[in-house]
Amino acid sequence: MQTLIETFHLDWKLLIAQLINFSLVFGVLYFFVFKNLFKTIGERNTKIEKGLKDAEVAVLKLEEAAQEKEAIIIAARKEANEIMKQAKELAEKKKAETVVAAKLEIGKVITEEKERMRQEKAVVLEEIRQESVDLIMSVAEKIIATKLDDNHDQEIIKKMIKQ
């Protein structure tokens, strides 16, 4: 040990003084610096752990919200499909009703037009009859007027015989 002390030039008095100085500096640093530093580091670790737990909770809530969103979207799509189906059915029903109403209206118009044409035909036929009667009457009057003359009758008979 003596050789060790001589080799490294260790002085016991100096070594003890350095140990005392180190203890004093360590004590001062511990009470004024390290204590506050350890306290701050502890608080920071607590905050970080709380932040990590809050982040995990937030991730879980986010996953739940995403699942709920998907469920809502699926339900909304189903409801939209149902509404579209009902709208198509209603449109088809309205279309069928419109076609039936149009056919009835067309039938009514055709019936009215036939009746109008029948009435016009009756009027035209009546006019033709009336004109025929008038023509026949005028021809008959001319024939009767010419028939009163016997000479004329004889000439007509001769013409007919020649033909």
Q: Which residue has the higher pLDDT, 56 or 9?
A: 56
Distance of CA 156 to CAs 20, 145, 159, Å?
180, 14, 5
152 Cβ contact partners less than 8 Å away, ≥ 6 residues apart: 146
pLDDT at 133: 78
pLDDT at 154 over 80: no
Q: How confident is the model at residue 130 (pLDDT cuts 50, 70, 90)?
A: confident
Q: What's the pTM value of the predicted model, to 2 decimals?
A: 0.43
Q: How confident is the model at residue 116 (pLDDT cuts 50, 70, 90)?
A: very high
**Residue ranges per structural domain of the chain:** 2-162
The pLDDT > 70 percentage for the chain reads 86
pLDDT at 43: 96
Helices 35-147, 150-162: axis angle to 10 degrees equals 110
Query: Using CA atoms in the order 20, 22, 26, 32, what is the torsion angle rounded to 10 degrees?
Result: 80
Residue 146 in contact with residue 152, Cβ under 8 Å? yes
